[in-house]
Chains A and B, each alone.
Chain A
């Protein structure tokens, strides 16, 4: 386990550096992952050899750029097992996808007195867009509660989702609590009540095999940068029939069929949603990232991360004064470990860990309602990916202990 899954660590030269005089231990993967040489080379190669605008030119470079851009779409469709490439729309990010489905589809199907159901563990990007729809349509925004363990309370879900519910929108994997939510089961409940099921896949798609047909979700959104691709490229999936009825969010070039002086008609899916020149190199790089992940195998990635968590979680829990949020059973916990240390603010913890070369996130993780629910202002968060090693985990635990000792000596 000392070279990452399948010796993958060598593909990430950024990891091979010193930070504050210590070897870098990068444990902020839930925020963004590092990019392997293969993805970086794809970007350079595109700009050195094929750069042109897509879907417009008749010249050779335009054709090459278009082919690569569309080939990446096919890779995405296969990656999440979409029934058709028409269901795959490129976005800027998960946030953009969730905003689109809320502002366009949400406002189409949610009426006065209806309900939108989300949960206590959502990221702001799956809360705030729904608040906007609820306010605009005079609908009610309801929250599914959590169990004492930090998992989604399915009894609460069954109570909150009613015949008035039009939208159920839930993160497939939680960015703080480190749990995987039963999206398929939630979708069944939603569909029984005639509601649509939307999953935020930002923390799930990079770490496990996704099958949107098996999950039977109506919409699914995720980001490239949390799965080896650059920032600024994301994916928005929707069932074809629903995307057909959903009005475009942005208007302009590329998305039109024909423009008259007073009105216009839209081109077919998926381009109807892709107004303007898209992030071409980002999409092609996402395709390359998917090749890399597929080559490793999503099931292998999932198993490897599980092994790392099973190794790290008991050691972190054993440090006196450490609180870990979410389930303490490693079988129920993803590679996201949110924690606090008694008497210490997470910012002080993160600065201390940084001095030891260990990069973690500290803050509210864009989940302020969850912080309120947990009655904390913030937490520290360490998050793994397949290139992390057992040595990284050891260094992390050692640094947590050192920080604890430093502040205990200084303060008492």
Chain B
């Protein structure tokens, strides 16, 4: 307990002195966590201390915003941000020459997961025909919090595909985590046979989708080693330790209960 207070005090003092010190401390804590992963390390106390103090939380997030925005809102984070402008630009260009090719174009990072559950990155107009005619989708579940683009909703209305949106912002360092109950809700949609065939996607289909798929594998009782191996295959070259920790620590009791009550397990191949 006293440790916690100390960390909070230390942080507050550092935050007052200037952002550089705080960032340095966070970085140091981060490295410590890495070196003794699995043990109860300082960063957990840090996490709690910051979350329990609204004023501190705000100050820290302001400083982090500033730093991450300018200096290194690093490439990994760019993938997590759904850019409506970018999407619209590419889609418009695509809509103009959508009839040029007869090729089957699956979205990037597309794959089957199990049965009629699929995963991919954000589908664009060139993928619509694949989704409608090859996969014959009944539903799409999107894991981004941003508003779904109109060309996608128009397409889905026309093709009779239902949209489920469960917005989550990814396990981003340092202080963002996917809440468990959100993931439980997403799993409830994903493994419900009434929604199949279903496509699950986020922005790149690497991190948020990877976490969800990892938890589906847990429901299938896969060994963690093989779950992580699959996660890394799809997240390559941007696998995140935090995502893998999340998959391991996710408490599956609730979804197992729901799934067993509704007779959804084992998930059919």
Same complex for A and B? Answer: no
B residues near A (Cβ < 8 Å) are none
